[in-house]
Structure 1
Amino acid sequence: MKKKILVVDDEPSISMLLEFNLKLVGYEVHCVYDGEAVFEATSTFRPDLIVLDLMLPKMDGIQVCRKLRSQNNMVPVLMLTAMQDLNDKIAGLDNGADDYMTKPFSPQELISRIQAILRRVQALPGDANPPAIEIGKITVLPAEREVLVNGNPVDLTPKEFELLLFLCKHRGKVLSRQQLLHGVWDYHFLGDTRIVDVHISHLRDKLETQARSPEYIITIRNVGYKLTEPAVKESLA
């Protein structure tokens, strides 16, 4: 069955270019041209991924992403931003986008990013029915793609879940930001590691607030991060 991509961009030339190239590699594509149209499209077209421009009529990309996540719609979102809008990139991630690309971009790179995101969302670790992972008050259910804290479900975006699962697989090991980019996003992000820091911050907020315990995810200064149980004291340089 073809994967469905919803393209949201108010520039017809970009929408047509994306639609042509995505269909060429086998995706089913639907285009809408303003932010408000996204919500009807998600209920009728049911996309597997949304390519979402930041600057849109009626409702901008950040507002769209925020509303999707507030409705517990965790469809992966690849946000398109202008080259100079670094703050907008971070704002997009802060509001639930899984990845971003800057304009101008090559259709081939965008397709590679989409394939990487969908591959990560679909992938199951190891066996068909992998066991639950217990870390302190946190339970990760890989097959169900669910996370519980104190027995209560926690809403994570697809990318937040993948990041947590990757940290779980390497529990106790220090992982650099570049290792996390390569392991979770499936590509090297040209040295821009802020996407990792934003997702780590979101994970901490969601996990540690509910667990009422500090520092499941430890920052190792000038290196990266590691996942550990809060009862284990860390000595940081």
Structure 2
Amino acid sequence: MYPILIVEDEPSMLMGLKDNLEFESYEVDTAEDGEIGLNKILENNYSLVLLDVMLPKISGFDICKKARAKGIQTPIILLTAKGEEIDKVLGLELGADDYITKPFGLRELLARIRAVLRRTQNVTAGKEEEKIELGRLSVDFKSFEGFVDGEEVKMSHKEVEILHYLWNHKNKTVSRDDLLDEVWGTEYQPTSRTIDNFILKLRQKIEDDPNHAKIILTVHGVGYRLVSN
């Protein structure tokens, strides 16, 4: 059973989500404002968080940022009435795993939840190798721990998922569509700028000179290739 936290300040929306997720056999906890939600995220081990953006006390964006800064890697799906691309990009760059705009249908939400859980459980399962060393970076795919030159660094869920996929396809060209489908899924796809930003963050951890990458290469017009012996 997957424990899910819902952080939502609209009582009717909160109870509707809770009832429907419990009907689907999820274990559900709730919070009605950002402060309570953040404390619960920091103090508990959830499988996933449904997080409203517009919340009293602390916004969903700030909760996401603070949780990731504390090393919390719990998958987060943002819920918001905002539909502008800039908000989607901001949410994903702060560490959210997906984004769904109100109003949404129950079937769509359940599909998003299953997709995120499936992707994150696949990463934590470790697959072929749990720990690798790549350039300056040592990373544990199971614990999401990363070390650069021996010093611990924060690794977001998406950074680990992208690197895990590239590693499993090392020395092969991976298209942008491959990354979109395997890391973000088909329900929501970010802009190419968002993908580039994640690649840049990985290069800053891995490469001696991120401006002249030798490990994660750009294949112009196609995608990326991770080069490793």
Alignment partner, residue 235 of structure 1: none
Alignment partner, residue 178 of structure 1: 177
Deviation at 1:183, TM superposition (A): 1.6
Q: Indicate how the Cα distance of structure 1 residues 156 and 203 shifts in structure 2: closer, same or farther if over 3 A, else same.
A: farther
Alignment partner, residue 5 of structure 2: 6
Deviation at 1:162, TM superposition (A): 1.3
Q: Indicate how the Cα distance of structure 1 residues 102 and 226 shifts in structure 2: closer, same or farther if over 3 A, else same.
A: farther
Q: Indicate how the Cα distance of structure 1 residues 151 and 26 shifts in structure 2: closer, same or farther if over 3 A, else same.
A: same
Alignment partner, residue 204 of structure 1: 200
Distance in 1, Cα, partners of 2:186 & 2:44? 32
TM-score normalised over the length of structure 2 = 0.85
Alignment partner, residue 126 of structure 1: 127
Distance in 2, Cα, partners of 1:96 & 1:161? 11
Moved more, 40-49 or 171-180: 40-49
The answer to whether structure 1 residue 222 and structure 2 residue 218 are counterparts is: no
Moved more, 19-28 or 210-219: 210-219
List runs of 5+ in structure 2 lacking aligned partners: none
The answer to whether structure 1 residue 158 and structure 2 residue 157 are counterparts is: yes
Residue 34 of structure 2 aligns to a residue whose secondary structure is coil
Deviation at 1:90, TM superposition (A): 1.0
Deviation at 1:179, TM superposition (A): 1.0
Moved more, 103-112 or 51-60: 103-112
Deviation at 1:151, TM superposition (A): 3.0
CA RMSD of aligned residues (A): 2.5
TM-score normalised over the length of structure 1 = 0.82
Superposed CA deviations along residues 180-204 of structure 1, whole A, max 9, x for unmatched, are 122223x3146x442x642552353
* Aligned AA (1:201): N
Residue 38 of structure 2 aligns to a residue whose secondary structure is helix
Would you say how many aligned residue pairs link Structure 1 and Structure 2? Answer: 224
Residue 73 of structure 2 aligns to a residue whose secondary structure is coil
% identical aligned pairs: 37
Distance in 2, Cα, partners of 1:13 & 1:159? 32
Distance in 1, Cα, partners of 2:202 & 2:224? 17
Residue 9 of structure 2 aligns to a residue whose secondary structure is coil
